[in-house]
Amino acid sequence: MTEINKTIALQTMEALHERDLESARAKVAPGARFYGWAPEPLDADGHKAFMFGLLTAFPDSNFIVDDVVAEGDKVAVRHRLQGTHQAELQGIPATGRQVEIGGIVIFRIENGMVAEAWLNADIMGMMQQLGVVPA
Amino acid sequence: MSEQYKMAAQNLIEKGFNQKELSAFESYFSTNLKDHALPPGIPEGFEGRRMFYSAFLAAFPDLHVHIEDTLAEGDKLVMRWSAHGTHTGELMGIPPTGKQVSVGGTAIDRFENGQSVEHWEIFDQVGLMQQLGVIPS
């Protein structure tokens, strides 16, 4: 199961990298909950809407996977989001700045779909790179 | 091996953070630690990690950390944690606010010979600074 779960987690990351939110949404179970996004928790549609806002803010976005650790029904993915901030994001007007935001997300996979996810992202680093808070 | 890593993490949290025994940090991390999560301006590796933890323990003397989840594979351990405490000591230039804060984070360690030799971690620094009133919510 662990290898299958890894594949599903990585397919989700690849869909985000390809900016294909329909494919990412298709891997989310009904009743799924996303923790670490705002407001918390988000459901599947809330998560998709949040990610749409993120991808809109960074039109040249890339999601790069740096590490994967899996055990049982959980898969942790250490990753980076790279992009240029070209539209409003969570109240921050476009800055034109390039950012790289590190993240660690843990997915819980149930019946081949994402049932829960917990994200920690370097929002402080992002705000520093955007010049919103001092470095 | 994975159970051994989980026990090491539990010891780090219970003894190191919750009972404030710095020796628990020293047994968890190798002196050859490569640390990817330290802020600029403090020493790299083991020394920096010890200073970083000491600073938090001094700023939040009642700090209590809870392990929310662990998963291990190969030589890696992932730990998701939550912590709460009262800000009664200076924290990296921020004078004590007396505020109670609650934050969470996720760490990844790579083990060699029973100790962490590489550390990655992201925690809710923005949430911490907002709760301290240093940056607006």
Answer left, alpha or beta for residue B11, where phi above 0 means left and psi between -120 and 50 means alpha. Answer: alpha
Q: Per the CB < 8 Å rule, is A69 touching B105?
A: no
Question: pLDDT tens across B30-84, in order?
Answer: 999 999 999 988 999 999 999 999 999 999 999 999 999 999 999 999 999 999 9
Task: Choose the closest CB to A69 out of B73, B122, B135.
Answer: B73
Q: From chain A, which residues contact B within 8 Å (Cβ)?
A: 2, 36, 67, 69-72, 74, 76, 78, 102-104, 106, 118, 120-124, 127, 133
Q: Test B106 with A104 for CB contact under 8 angstroms.
A: yes
Hey, which bits of chain A come out as E strands? 28-35, 62-71, 74-84, 98-110, 113-121
Selected for mutation to probe chain A from B79, B94, B106, B124 (highest A CB count within 10 Å) is B106
pLDDT band at B2 (very low <50, low <70, confident <90, very high): confident
Q: Per the CB < 8 Å rule, is A120 touching B72? A: no
Structural domains of chain A, with CATH: 2-130 (3.10.450.50)
Domain B2-131: which CATH number of 3.40.50.450, 3.20.20.300, 3.40.50.300, 3.10.450.50: 3.10.450.50
Long-range contacts: B19-24, Cβ < 8 Å, 24+? B20/B57, B20/B61, B22/B50, B22/B53, B22/B54
Q: What is the rounded average pLDDT for all residues in chain A?
A: 96
Residues of chain A in contact with residue B126, where contact means CB-CB under 8 angstroms, are 123-124, 127
Domain residue ranges of chain B, discontinuous segments joined by +: 2-131
